Amino acid sequence: METRPAPEATAEPADGGPSALRRTLHQRGLRMTPQRQLVLDAVRDLGHATPEQICTRVQSAAPAVNITTVYRTLDLLERIGLVRHTHLGHGAPTYSEQEHQHVHLVCHSCGKVTESPTDLMDGLAARLLAESDFVLDPSHVALSGRCRGCRDEEEEQS
């Protein structure tokens, strides 16, 4: 886990930079605080991370921030649509930017998480709609399986 001071290179998607958070909060009568900015930065920075990982990251910039605040803030950021959480298969949910629409591929052998574009699911989504009247949300849940590396290892042993 690195400790550098939160690069902002990719921190500004088309629809909003740092002050966009302030605006979004104010629209709903909520307040801008350093903690909220730090949590959002951490989520963007880490890609997809558990509340605890996010907390660690935040604390590397502001050690006084409590994990309670991280939980509350993630919940809030999700309610106002800035982040979303995904269930990667094990216990902890992971949070990422709302805009980052991708499918998670989780190897249940080594735990590695890969991302693929959501259009991978287009065919499946169409079939689900036709056959089961089900509108798929491709980025919410991860697909489980075995990655290349683990497959190779297994083959070597047999």
Partner DNA sequence: CTATCTGCAAATCTTTTGCAACGGA
Partner DNA sequence: TCCGTTGCAAAAGATTTGCAGATAG
Binding-site residues for Zn(2+), in ranges, read 107, 110, 147, 150
Give strand pairing partners of 24.
Answer: none
Q: Among its own copies, DNA, none, what binds residue 64 when CB lies within 5 to 8 Å by partner kind? A: DNA
- Closer residue to DNA (CB): 62 or 124: 62
Decide: 3 and 60 in contact? Cβ < 8 Å.
yes
Identify which of residues 67 and 136 has a Cβ nearer to its own copies in the complex.
136
The answer to whether 110 touches 146, Cβ cutoff 8 Å, is no
Tokens 């287009």 appear where? 122
Q: Does 157 sit near its own copies (CB under 8 A)? A: no
- Which residues, numbered 50-69, are part of the site for DNA (CB under 7 A)? 50-52, 62, 64-69
Determine the Cα–Cα distance for residues 120 and 127; give it in Å rounded to an integer.
13
The dihedral built from the CA positions of residue 53, 58, 60 and 64, taken in this order, carries a sign that is negative
Work out whether 5 is an interface residue with DNA (CB under 7 A): no
Between CA 111 and CA 84 the distance in angstroms is 21
Tokens of 70: 């991280």
User: What kind and span of H or E run contains 130?
Assistant: helix 122-132
| Stretch of 31-39, 46-54, 72-80, 114-122 lying at the interface with its own copies (CB under 8 A) | 114-122
When asked if residue 120 is in the footprint of its own copies (CB under 8 A), the reply is: yes
Phi, psi of 87 (to 5 degrees): -95, 110
Asked if 110 touches DNA (CB under 7 A), the answer is: no
Residue numbers of the site for its own copies (CB under 8 A)?
A: 87, 89-90, 105-108, 114, 116, 120-121, 123-124, 127-128, 131-137, 140-148, 151
Residue numbers of the site for DNA (CB under 7 A)?
A: 22, 25-26, 29-36, 50-52, 62, 64-69, 71-73, 75, 91-93
